[in-house]
Amino acid sequence: MRTNLFKLVAIAILFVGLVPLSDQLMTKILFDQSLPILKPVRVEAQMLANKRSEPSRLDATSRAYLDRVLALTNVCPRMKHDFDGFMIGYNIVRAVEEASEINGVSQDLLLAVIAAESRCNANAVSRAGAMGLMQITPRTARSLGIEQLFSIQQNIFGGAKYLARLLDKYNGDVRLALAAYNSGPGIVKRYQGLPPYSETSKYVGKVMAFRTRFGQIKRS
C-alpha cells in the first residue's frame, strides 16, 4: 500500500510539476517498468531526465528529442527550464517533425524560424500584429486556413505551409524565401532579389545561423 502511494505521489509530482525532482527520484519514475500508467507518455517523461542520470538508459528516439528540446531552451531564454518549459519544447519539436514531413520543409529550418521569430513564445504578438511561434499575420493565416494562431500545432503547420509555398516560388532558394517571409514577397519582387534592408538582412542571417546550429543535432 505504501509503495502504491509513493507511485501515485511521484506521478502527481512529475505531471503537475509541484517541486523539482532529484536525479534519483526522476530515474525511478522514468525507468520503473511497474508503472504502466506512464507507458503512453514515456517519451515525454524521459526527456526530463538529467543527462547525468543514467543517460544510457534513454532510448535513441528519446535522446534525440531531448537534445532538440535542450537546443531550443538554449536559444530561447524565455523558455522556463522546468517541467512546463520542457513540455512546451517537446510539443514544438513534435509539431515541427510532423509539419516537416507533411510540407517538405526541413525541421532545422522550421526550428530556426521559430527561434528567430518568437524565441519560442507561443503567445508572442508583434507590433505589426503577427502572432504565435512563427509570427503569422491574420491575413496570411486566413489564406492558409489557420484559425488558432496561438495553438502550437496550428501555428507551426501554417508557418511550414507558407514556407513551403515560398520555397517553391523561389525554386528552393532559402535566403529569398526567408526574405519574403520577413518582408513580404512583394518587396522581394520589387528588388528582384534580397531587399537592401538591414532588418531583413539580419533576419536572414540569424535564421541561417540557427538552422546550422539545429542541423548539428543528431536525429534518431
SS3 6: helix
Contact 154/165 with Cβ under 8 angstroms? Answer: no
Residue pointed to by grid coordinates 527561434: 115
- Contact yes or no for 119/78 (Cβ under 8 A): yes
Instruction: Find all residues with CB under 8 Å of 202, minimum gap 6, and list them.
Output: none
Return the exposure string of 139-164: e unless at least 16 CB atoms fall within 10 Å of the residue's CB, then b. ebbeebebeebebbbbbbbbbbbbbb
How many angstroms separate the CA atoms of 198 and 194, rounded? 11
CA gap 216, 35 in Å, rounded: 35
Give the active site residues. Answer: 117
C-alpha 133/C-alpha 89 separation (Å) is 11
Strand partners for 125: 131
> Which amino acid, one-letter code, is at 66?
L
